Structure 1
Amino acid sequence: MFIALSLGPAYGGYLLFTLYPNVLSVYYSLLEWDGMSEPRFVGLDNFVAMVGDKYVWRALGHNVLLMVTIPPLVVLISLVLAYVLVYKSYKGSSVLKVLFFFPNVLSTVVIALLWTFVYDGQFGLLNALLEAVGLNIGHFYWLGDERTAIWALIPPAVWGGVGFYIVIFINAMSAIPKSLYETAILEGATHTTRMVKITVPLIMPVVRVGVLFLMLGTLKGMEQVLILTNGGPSGSTDVIALYMFNLAFGTDYHNYGYASAVGMFLFAILVSAKLLLDKLMPNRGVEY
């Protein structure tokens, strides 16, 4: 009885605010409805229309680009920095841990706003740094050019995610027996060899979970894109979640039925990404 009373509010909140809206979205995807007038049942027409919607596939392409760049960069940088902080004796290592984790204290909105100043054409830090090293590109606005806008989304996501995974990987590395490294040192193994042959294989289950969270977060995320570019310029940074959001709550029109169909498509992509990760990175650790 006590367990039921303890878990009841959590399960109730999950059913009310997560499961029920998702099930309702399946029903909405079969309707033509603007949220105001009487809904009209259209069956699979929304899904048929989505197949020929070039904007959906353009947004999906941007999602795939971000998914194959952001998670590998975050994991690689986090692994290297975590290894250095654990196995290199730096006097200021505790301070460095705090500095690396600092971006995770900030909200997604704050991070995005900070990077708008970095990319600003007139007063931006990036242009100032380039000018300081002799590369004067004038008042180039990185988020306002179709050639650079999508690539400019990657550094904020990496900068905002590295600190959290450094802490996770540090905890995982701290559990590895020191005797393994002592034996490797006696055999002349370098830091690179120790990291590749000992550290990464032993914490691979933790790395796999990190990659999974990063992949799914990149696929369904839209907050930073909304603040940095709102999908512009000319849709060059639009992603699936943002496109769905604008379909349902945009200023031009409201199409909850079609937006729900796009949401179902996004759900299928997330499940496919999870199955692909299971195939590429099986959930098994290494023992020595």
Structure 2
Amino acid sequence: MGVPEAVQAHTARKGSLMSKSNTQKRLFVLLAVWPCFLGYLLFNLYPNIVSVYYSFLEWNGISEPKFVGLDNFVYMFQDKYVWRALYHNLLLIVTVPFLTVYISLILSYLLTNKHYFEAKVYRVLFFVPNILAIVVIALLWAFIYDGSYGMLNALLKVIGIDMNEYYWLAEKSTALWALLPPMIWSGVGLYVIIFMNAMKTIPSSLYEAAILEGASHTTRLFKITIPLLSPIIRIGFLFLALGVFKGFEFMLILTNGGPSGATEVIGLYMFSMAFGSTSHNYGYASAIGMFLFVILIAVKWIIDRFGPKDNLEY
């Protein structure tokens, strides 16, 4: 009878120690996570919830708020400047993500499969824009586009195209498209690194078999690499598309939405409504923010619905 009692005591003691260990683990996780969770509540969740409330108000941040119901939303759908800004966002969303991913795929494929001696140097150079602040990148490109002493006009003049001090960011016909190079350049480096690391996981036997069958680099890229990287490419498209809709830093620094609203996007218009020099309508800006939130959800749904699925295997 003594042996079972000893076994039971040992089991009970072991269970008590395990319970104590689990409690300590939960306590440690709670202490480690709660500062981040508190920051998320204060600086992310709470502002978004308050924005929903503000969208039903007419308020400039100083005077007494006035409840106006759905008036802000009704006015927003009648505001031609909202639709103009949204149109610019749509132009950017069909160009910036596609070109960024396409250029990144080509560069990463070349650096991975061509085995250039200086590949590590190129990888660092491509990644440099990602360690620079957006302000620095924007000011650099503002210098490049300057009509009087800009690098772009100087290079064009060397090859025989004299633009006669053409200001690329000051003309309605070119201002929006001039924003594409800095936006793409600032994102290519990160995705080159991501795609290169993903390509290294593809079995070399697939490429060897394709080489034996006479497949060119282009065929290998589009028939092997891109299909196998399609889930990662989809995530890249998603992040870039959401960034195009939410971001407005380049527009704010380079053109401030000009000339004559030619580069104004929905995020910049919302910012101008809330913090502009002539307008401080937090209620209307919050309504635009709610509209932007719905658009972002729709963009994610479209990419998830029609983008490549995570079902490809080697």
TM-score normalised by structure 2 residue count: 0.91
Give, in whole Å, the separation in 1 of the partners of 2:218 and 2:86. 36
1:228 to 249, 254, 274: 254
Aligned match for 2:76, one of 32, 45, 50: 50
Match 1:270 to one of 296, 299, 311 = 296
Instruction: Give the whole-Å Cα distance in 1 for the aligned partners of 2:305 and 2:273.
Output: 34
Overall identity of the aligned pairs, in %: 61
| Pair 1:60 & 2:86 matched | yes
2-side partners of 1:219 and 1:241: how far apart? 7
Pairing of 1:100-249 with structure 2 (within 5 A): 100-249=126-275
Asked if 1 retains the 8 angstrom alpha-carbon contact of 2:51 and 2:286, the reply is yes
Instruction: Pick one of 52, 62, 70 that aligns with 1:26.
Output: 52
- Match in the other structure for 1:81: 107
Q: Where does structure 2 lack aligned partners over 5 or more consecutive residues? A: 1-26
SS in 2 for 1:225: helix
The Cα shift of 1:187 comes to: 1.0
Shift of residue 283, structure 1, vs aligned partner: 3.2
- SS of 1:123's equivalent in the other structure is coil
Supply the distance in 2 between the matched residues of 1:141 and 1:14 (Cα, whole angstroms): 43
Q: Is the Cα contact below 8 Å between 2:230 and 2:308 reproduced in 1?
A: no
CA distance in 1, matches of 2:43, 2:238: 23
Moved beyond 2 Å, runs of 4+:
none
Q: How many residues align?
A: 288
The answer for unaligned runs of 5 or more in structure 1 is none
Question: How far off is 1:100 after superposition?
Answer: 0.9
Deviation of the 1:282 alpha carbon: 4.0
Partner SS state of residue 95, structure 2: helix
Spell out, residue by residue over 1:230-277, the C-alpha distance to the aligned partner (whole angstroms, 9 max, x if none).
Answer: 000011100001000010011112100000000001111100100110
CA contact (8 A) 1:86 1:170 kept: yes
Asked which structure has the greater CA Rg, the reply is 2
* Partners of 1:147 and 1:266 in 2: CA distance: 26
Q: In 1, distance between residues paired with 2:283 and 2:140? A: 35
Give CA deviations for 1:174-218 in whole Å, capped at 9, x if unaligned.
011111111111111111111111111111111111110000000
Would you say the 8 A contact 1:202–1:285 is kept in 2?
no
Give the one of 29, 35, 54 matched to 2:61.
35
